[in-house]
Every structure is written in C-alpha cells, then in structure tokens.
Amino acid sequence: MPDYGKGIKDPEGGATSKSPLSSFTRWLQIKKYQYEVTTSLYMLTPTEKFVFNVIILVLFTLLVAAAVAYLPNHIAVISNRLWYYVHGEFLYATAGTAAQSSTKQALETTGKLVQGMASQTAEQVVRQAHEL
C-alpha cells in the first residue's frame, strides 16, 4: 500500500495523528486511491487520466442537470397517477361539481319554461277545438 494509505505519523512519537484535518486528508487520499484502482486509472498516462476524468465529469454534470430539470415534473406526474389509482378521479374533479350544479339548475329552469309553454299551448288547442 502506498504511504498515503497508511496512518499519518507524528514527528515526535510515531503515533498516528488524530486531528480532523489530517483525518479528512487521509480519507480523501484513500478515496482517490480507491477510485484509481477501481477504474484502472493507475495504468494510464496523465493525459489519458485527464481525458477520462473530463468525460466522467461531463457525464455526471449532464446527469445532474437532467435530474434538476426533469425530476420535479416527473414526480408530479407520478403523484397524479398515484392519486388517480387510489381515489379513481383526478385532483381537479371538484371543478366538475360546480359545472354539474349549474347544468342541473339550467335544466330545471328550462323544464319549467317548457312546462309553462306546453300548458299554454294545450289551453289554446282546447279552446280552438271547442270553437269548431
């Protein structure tokens, strides 16, 4: 294992240092080493490492940008579908009840008008029939 994979030695006693900064530095060094070993970057030249890392960075950036742009809308679509599957109606079904009540009222008013006109017409037909 390389030197940075081992503990950081104190100059006086040889014991490992426990400061937060040195612990964090050691953790970063270990993560860098694991990344290089996992992706086989230790076998590449510095230029090849740079190109590979740039490609990985660009792909990761595109993934994050797509998640930020499209994930909120996707979550809204999924939640609306879940609401529909659970309740059987859309979230905006209450807007239909106002339209239904106004339609019912209009039909009742129209029915009363037609009934009144029909009774007047019936009276006129009866009068004309008596005159003949």
Type of residue at 45 = T
pLDDT of 59-103, one tens digit each? 999 999 999 999 999 999 999 888 888 887 655 655 566 667 777
Domain limits for position 114: 93-132
On whether both 1 and 38 belong to a single domain, the answer is yes
Task: State how many domains the chain has.
Answer: 3
On whether both 30 and 2 belong to a single domain, the answer is yes
* Residue (of 38, 41, 30) closest to 6 by Cα position: 30
Dist CA 127 CA 103 (whole Å): 36
pTM for the structure as a whole? 0.47
On whether both 97 and 127 belong to a single domain, the answer is yes
Select the more confidently predicted residue: 58 or 95: 58
